[in-house]
Amino acid sequence: MSRSRLLSLALLACTLHAAHPVRARKAMVVAQEPHATDAGVAVLQSGGNAIDAAVAVGFALAVTHPTAGNLGGGGFLLLRKSTGETTFLDFRERAPAKATRNMYLDDKGNLTRDSLEGWRAAGVPGTVHGLALAHQKYGSKPWAELLAPAIKLAKGFPVTYSVSKSLQNSELLAKFPESRRIFQRNGRFYEPDELLIQPELGRTLERIAKHGPRDFYEGETAKKFAAEMAANGGLITLEDLKNYRTAERKPLTGAYRGYDIITAPPPSSGGLGILHIMGILESSGYTAHGAGSAAAIHYVAEAMRRYYADRAEYLADPDFVKVPVSGLLNKQYIAARKATIDPARASSSDSIRQGKPPANESTETTHFSIIDAQGNSVALTYTLNGSYGNGVTVPGLGFLLNNEMDDFSAKPGEPNMFGLVQGEANAIQPGKRPLSSMTPTIILKDGKLFMVVGAPGGSRIITGVLQVILNVIDFGMNAQDAVDAPRFHHQWQPDKLSLERGFSPDTIELLKSRGHTVDSISSVANVEAIVVQKDGWLSGGTDPRSHGKAAGY
Ligand code: DON
């Protein structure tokens, strides 16, 4: 073993506090809300597969985790079957047919708040379509059985302290009468342990259980939804709903230090991000100073900075724009980007522009991770975008709508909700999907399932998921330690290195002395991970930054 490797292991031994992950012998769900985790585990225990459990968890979260769980949003599902077959279901929202490039600019060309709040912020929802397609192609249990837990939870579930506070504190929900009535009881806020009862949502779920996704895209729900949209100045029509399609795509794959990484392709910028950054890190020796060292943070942050500059320029919906996927993963290109990193000094983002990757040779979100007893695995991230989406609950239907349109470059060059500066490639066009950072990922070791991981967290999803993977692969942490460890984030613009609490003052000083502008942030994503241990047991790490639960049997 090299001296530097020995040193890093020794440092690791001193810094680890070894939290215990949740362990299970056969199957596991790690999700951001306990009722939803329990619904998934019950499906697995009664013989359902990972897709069945994902459908049950997805619908349950739509009831119990209203900040992000949804019917009115969209997301990505990554599946790896125990046979080795993989697929990626892209049920991301699409811009309505009536959407236009400058729809969020006022007459002076300034950005309005319409991409963030209210009816016009919503893209055409994909969640019901995506979960239904997943079930139809890969599920095994009756559809209605998988919606039953969500329907039951809609009849009333006790809100936790955090849900109670989140609902009470939402100024956004208070702006829209139906949201204020349902989620804030017109000011008589829900106390912890009180039952949140959602009869309208329950009836919508019952119709979807009975008639399938047709109800949401063509049937009674669709008609009511389109009528409310029209009455409130929104853009989504019945035609938009009828035309919605989930895109089944080939997952992006790559390798890092002997592990196979299966991850999200565009319109996610996440999979490409982690693979590109891993490409820079692979033979850099960045681990030599140990996890959490200023030297390691500096090097990884510089790699992040460079990827986010490329992200802004090149990444978008591949159905509309040619994304240079293989160019950004090209070994020479990665080596050239890497050569611009000074291990001792921070670059300035103004001096880092997008690179010139070779042309292609050919041409408040939530995440859960599931492994079933057969070894099928699902990583699913879905979202309303901001917390409670655009704030609108569709009257009579009980579900909140997304504000995913803000993920487009509403005005190229101006920052969006996450401070991301994005370019022309991601401009608004009818039918297009906005660029995403969601990064559901599955990792193999020697061809066998090793890790299932993903996170909410806006632009910080990519860097959050990356660091948890690095903590496991490079620093030997268990699933819980890997998720717990403090994280950092750099996204090129704004030019600052953001740190969670937990880094020592000495480390922060060292980073500043390398030239980083350092600020503090409350969290870099909320990562939900399962790692398959050497002895075959599953270990689950749920993120303490949130209120989730890992469970299995
Ligand atoms: O797709 C994206 O990148 C964003 N809409 C994700 C939003 C998100 O993670 C918010 N949750 N914290």
Residue 464's CATH number:
3.60.20.40
- Please give the distance, rounded to the nearest whole angstrom, from the Cα atom of residue 6 to the centre of ligand 1: 39
Nearest to 331 by CA among 276, 384, 268, 407: 276
Nearest partner of 91 among 72, 79, 78, 74, judged by Cα? 74
Domain contains 513: yes
> Within a domain: residue 195?
no
What number of other Cβ atoms are within 10 A of residue 335's Cβ? 12
Which residue's CA is the closest to the ligand 1 atom numbered 10? 364
- Tell me the CA–centroid distance for residue 75 and ligand 1, in Å: 9
Q: Contacts from 212-216 at CB under 8 Å and sequence distance 24+? A: 212/132, 212/143, 213/128, 213/129, 213/132, 216/71, 216/125, 216/128, 216/129, 216/241
For the cut 80, the answer to whether the pLDDT of residue 18 exceeds it is no
- Please determine, for residue 1, whether its predicted confidence score (pLDDT) is greater than 70: no
- Contact between residue 168 and residue 184 where contact means Cβ atoms under 8 Å apart: yes
**What does the alpha-carbon distance between residue 456 and residue 434 come to, in Å, rounded to a whole number?**
16
Rounded Cα distance, 443 and 440, in Å = 10
In a domain, 176, yes or no: no
Amino acid at 282: E
Tens-digit pLDDT profile for residues 211-250: 999 999 999 999 999 999 999 999 999 999 999 999 999 9
Q: Is 436 in the pocket of ligand 1 (CB under 6 A)?
A: yes
- State both tokens at 251: 């997952």
Nearest residue (by CA) to ligand 1, atom 11, is: 364
Asked if the structure places residue 534 within a domain, the reply is: yes
The mean of the pLDDT values for the chain is 95
Does the beta carbon of 280 lie inside 6 Å of ligand 1?
no
Closest residue to atom 1 of ligand 1, CA basis: 436
pLDDT value for 10: 45
Angle, vertex CA 519, rays to CA 515 and CA 524, nearest 5: 115
For the segment 63-120, what is each residue's pLDDT rounded down to a tens digit?
Answer: 999 999 999 999 999 999 999 999 999 999 999 999 999 999 999 999 999 999 999 9
| Domain assignment of residue 298, yes or no | yes
Regarding the beta carbon of 271 and ligand 1, being less than 6 Å apart is answered no
Residue 402 Cβ contacting ligand 1 at under 6 Å? no
Strand order in the sheet with 74-80: 247-249, 86-91, 74-80, 377-383, 366-371, 28-31, 549-552
**Is the CB of 438 inside a 6 Å radius of any atom of ligand 1?**
yes
How far is the CA of 529 from the CAs of 29, 90, 451, 466, in angstroms? 9, 21, 7, 12
Cα of 2 to ligand 1 centre, how many Å? 40
Give dist(CA 337, CA 275) in Å, integer: 14
Q: Could you tell me the distance, in angstroms and rounded to a whole number, from the CA of residue 418 to the centre of ligand 1?
A: 9
Q: Is the CB of 269 under 6 A from ligand 1?
A: no
Q: What proportion of the chain, given as a percentage, has pLDDT over 90?
A: 93
Cα–Cα dist 386/408, whole Å: 14
The string of pLDDT tens digits covering residues 26-69 is 999 999 999 999 999 999 999 999 999 999 999 999 999 999 99
Return the percentage of the chain with pLDDT > 70, whole number. 96
What's the pLDDT band for 23 if we cut at 50, 70, 90? very high
> Has residue 13 got a pLDDT over 70?
no
Tell me the pLDDT tens digit for each residue of 120-141: 999 999 999 999 999 999 999 9
User: What residue numbers bound the domain in which 71 lies?
Assistant: 1-35+66-100+245-553
Angle between the 50-64 and 34-45 helix axes, to the nearest 10 degrees?
150
β-bridge mates for residue 113, sequence order: none
The residue whose CA has the least distance to atom 2 of ligand 1 is 436
Is 393 a catalytic site residue? no
Which residue in 10, 12, 3, 7 sits closest to 472, CA to CA? 12
Grade residue 14 by pLDDT with cuts at 50, 70 and 90.
Answer: very low
DSSP codes, 248-263: EEPPEEEEETTEEEEE
Q: What 3-state class would DSSP assign to 60?
A: helix
Asked, for residue 119, whether it belongs to a domain, the answer is: no
Residue 126 CA, ligand 1 centroid: distance in Å: 15
Q: Is 355 in the pocket of ligand 1 (CB under 6 A)?
A: no
In a domain, 188, yes or no: no
Q: Would the pLDDT of 360 be above 90? A: no
Number of domains in the chain: 1
Query: 365, 381, 463, 542: which one is catalytic?
Result: 365
pLDDT at 2: 53
Question: What digits encode the pLDDT tens for the residues 470-528?
Answer: 999 999 999 999 999 999 999 999 999 999 999 999 999 999 999 999 999 999 999 99
Please give the model's pTM, rounded to 2 decimal places.
Answer: 0.95
Pocket probe for ligand 1: among 91, 416, 432, 438, the residue whose CB has the most ligand atoms within 8 Å is 438
Residue 157 lies in a domain: no
